[in-house]
Amino acid sequence: MSNPAITPNELLTAVRDGLAPLAEHWEGAISLATNPFEVIEMLAQSPGTPRIVILWEGEADATGGQRPGGIVTHTVALIISMNRGLPIWSGQVVSGAAADTPSILERLAELRTAMLGIAFPSGSTSQRFFYLGADSETTPEGLPLDAYRLRFSLKAKINLPA
């Protein structure tokens, strides 16, 4: 019996479920975005708690064009915000808003560790995400926000026609 392929939806569900304990520990929110514009809409909300937004950025062939391939590299982004609306990024957020509140960079490090700890079954994927880096999140016009985008990749099997 061959190992099953993994769909983008299954991948995102695993990420959401794997990060849910961290979001709960932060008393924050975790959301799935279907496109980059939805990320901006979610960041515009202001519940005053940390928010993690998960976005599937797509997939690319991982076989070098060999047929039958059936292996892709998924790219997933996590956007972390302290979620105080859409103010322009300031140094205050980097150092922490209050003495008893972890800074966004401390939370970014926790989030990166949690994401790298999510494991997948062997045979269907590369089992763990690869970390691709982090950048400040910006509006479509390029203005930086109180948020960061962490990017990860995962190789996975896909279904091929019979």
**Structural contact between residues 45 and 115, judged by C-beta atoms closer than 8 angstroms:** no
Instruction: Map residue 162 onto helix, strand or coil.
Output: coil
Q: What would the CATH number be for the domain defined by 8-157?
A: 3.30.2000.10
**Cα four-point dihedral sign 107, 109, 111, 113:** negative
The tens-digit pLDDT sequence of the chain (162 residues) is: 456 788 899 999 999 999 999 999 999 999 999 998 899 888 887 667 889 999 999 999 888 777 667 889 999 999 999 865 544 545 444 444 556 778 889 999 999 999 999 998 877 778 899 999 999 998 878 888 889 999 999 998 888 777
Report pTM: 0.85
- Delimit the domains of the chain by residue range: 8-157
98-to-43, 63, 95, 102 alpha-carbon distances in Å: 21, 48, 9, 8
